[in-house]
Structure 1
Amino acid sequence: MNVWRINLKTGGETPRKFCLENGIVAVGWPVDDNSAPLTWERYYDLAMEHYYNQGDRSWWPAVNALKNRMQIDDLVWTRDIQGVYYIGHITSDWRYEYESHFKKADMVNVRSCNWIKVGTVEAIPGKVVNSFIPARTVQKVADEQVRIYSMFIFNKLTSTDTYKIKELENPDIFSLLSSDDCEDILGLYLQKEKGYLLVPSSCKSDTMNYEYELRQKDTGDKAVVQVKNGWVDLHTDDYSNINSTVFLLTTKGQYLGDQQDNIHFVNPTEMEEFVFANIDILPDKIRNWTEILTELKNRTRPVPNKG
């Protein structure tokens, strides 16, 4: 099972709404042939002449992905113009649609798809959100975390067991979270437990040395954070010139260099404990990851012997 994202954005009439309401995942590139049913071989020949041979290089990657690379039971993400994300379960092979309303919407290369509303960006894995940045119409999201999350969220929202999530070896919360998720966790921790307040505009900064700034609500103390998820080491020398409190978090790496008064090493175990003790204040996507981890751990827990 693969995961895809599709930009339902063409020159036609309300293509996003059309696909979501009609239960399809689709792209355009129609051809001038009304002989139903149009075979793939006939469509390919006509489209090659009309699009590819005329210099349209976007036709083939999109149609090839929909027709040849996607498979029944794959999952696909899309979003509407309000920024609401949907996940779809592909339920049919490719077909070409002739009806006027398909042509009007410029959605003629079609697969049936069961769309489910997921929510806004805070409920969506960062790698799914970032996959919409490239301009291409259809793109595979090749990431195991996204794959697990997509299967879990579809099962959860449809109250089904459509997808079987495989067991992971020694799963922990940080093996499932993205770097953005870890930044959110540390930010929430510092605000709730240490009395810091986040400066929202600092999250947009292009600085390379830290993720965002905070201010301690009682003292006005300025703090910055740096977060690395995975086997990445953090060295105090890289932050010695920052004239503020520095919080460093690496989830699996080491803290290197001499301890300095203004630089604090955050314990990943403490962050994991904070996550599970404060589920209600977490973003939806992190809450979902905690459910996934609990499910995986319960599945691998040994069953007591009756004796």
Structure 2
Amino acid sequence: MDYVVRLHLKTGTDFRQGLVDFCLNSKKQYVAIGWSSQSEDLYRESFQEYYHRVKELSGRANPAINVFRDAEVDDLFWTRDLNGNYWICRVISPVEVLCDKRLDIGAVLPVEAYNFGMQVPGQIKSSFNRPRGGTVERIRDRIIIEYSKTIFNQLSNSKYYKVIPYEDNLLDNLPDFDLEELVISYLQIKENYYVLSNSIANKSTTIKIECEMISREVGNFRKAVVQVKGKKAKVLDALDFKQYVEEGYIVYLYVPQVINIDQIDNVIRINNDDLLDFYKKNKPILPLSITQWETLFGSNNS
């Protein structure tokens, strides 16, 4: 499996809930795409003709219809319902042409689908929430692929997919979005900050800051920013954060390598041992989107 697919269940219909119910909440389950005007009078097996009609109508091969053309049995899809729940879907048979004008369905992939709830990894969630992200995206990150197979096995109560475990520790393998979430949780709980929901990086700098935080302690005002980088990141220079320090911020860094940190005050590096210790002690109150990764990372985190 080279990728998993993120798919919005969204066609040209005005009856979006009806589309979701047809696809996910019926005895037979599907993921679907639109262009029902191009599937009229076609047989179920006539996907190639439907494909050419849509391509001619659009002037190009839309990414969504390409994904359906390329789909094979046992491919995995993530989709989301109108309540914000994420569903993991296994393709169980080849694509079929279907014409439903009310729901604007032109083709479907029969699937076996399970409701996973709302706490998916950040990389999956961001794919759904990305502005102008399109109807589909092929997610090729190997960790997300193995994670998706694991979730399907869990929800189907089976060992349908062989999952390749990761032997390194949690921090070495957490996807970037979830590593950021863990570090920010660490600062909120251990250092007693709260995150400003509308915080963004200072526009005059090219340094990427995850967020701005303010101390919860009345009478001990502190403000801080945080930078998080995974194990493959390049060496970071602490002096690049001088502007933030001059503006009164404490700068927290979680990075694999940093230089010149002894040349500047109020730049603090969070080390692996402290973060992993925090994780172990606070796991019951951390988001499932972080803690669920342990199923892939063997026993090196206990």
What is the 5 A alignment of 1:21-170? 21-22=25-26, 23-30=29-36, 31=38, 33-34=40-41, 36-41=43-48, 43-44=49-50, 48=52, 50-57=53-60, 60-67=62-69, 69-98=70-99, 102-120=100-118, 123-132=119-128, 133=130, 134-168=132-166, 170=167
Matched, 1:291 2:291: no
Amino acid at match of 1:264: I
> Percent identity at matched positions?
29
Code of the residue aligned with 1:95 in structure 2: it is E
TM-score by length of 1: 0.82
Contact preservation (8 Å) 2:39, 2:98: no
Per-residue displacement from partner, 1:74-105 (whole Å, max 9, x unpaired)? 1101112332221111111112235xxx3421
**Alignment partner of 1:131: what SS?**
helix
Conserved? CA contact 2:123–2:177, under 8 Å: no
Q: Is the 8 A contact 2:165 2:296 kept in 1?
A: no
Distance in 1 (alpha carbons) for counterparts of 2:261 and 2:165: 40
2: CA distance, partners of 1:214 / 1:266: 16
Q: Identify the residue that residue 247 of structure 1 maps to in structure 2.
A: 252
Q: CA RMSD in A?
A: 2.4
Change (3 A) 1:187 1:52: closer
**Bigger CA drift: 181-190 or 207-216?**
207-216
Pick from 20, 24, 38: which aligns with 1:16? Answer: 20
**CA distance in structure 2 between the partners assigned to 1:215 and 1:33 by the alignment:** 58
CA apart distance, 1:36: 4.1
TM-superposed CA distance for 1:237, in Å, is 0.7
The amino acid across from 2:86 in the alignment is Y
CA distance in 1, matches of 2:179, 2:243: 24
Deviation at 1:258, TM superposition (A): 4.1
The answer to whether the 8 A contact 1:209-1:239 is kept is no
Deviation at 1:38, TM superposition (A): 4.3
CA shift digits 1:252-282 (9 cap, x unpaired)? x212014133111111222122112211121
Report the residue type matching 2:280 in the other structure: F
Structure 1 SS opposite 2:87? strand
Structure 2 distance, partners of 1:184, 1:249, is 12
Q: Which runs of 5+ in 1 are unaligned?
A: 299-307
For this pair of structures, how many residues does the alignment match?
Answer: 282
Query: 1:17: how far off?
Result: 3.0
Could you tell me which residue of structure 2 aligns to residue 216 of structure 1?
Answer: 215
CA contact (8 A) 1:199 1:215 kept: yes
Q: Specify the alignment match of 2:172 in structure 1.
A: 175
CA distance in 2, matches of 1:27, 1:81: 16
Shift of 1:56: 4.0
1:279 counterpart = 2:276: no
Q: TM-score, normalised by structure 2?
A: 0.83
Assess if the C-alpha contact under 8 Å between 1:4 and 1:138 holds in 2.
yes
Cα distance in 2 for partners of 1:52, 1:158 equals 36
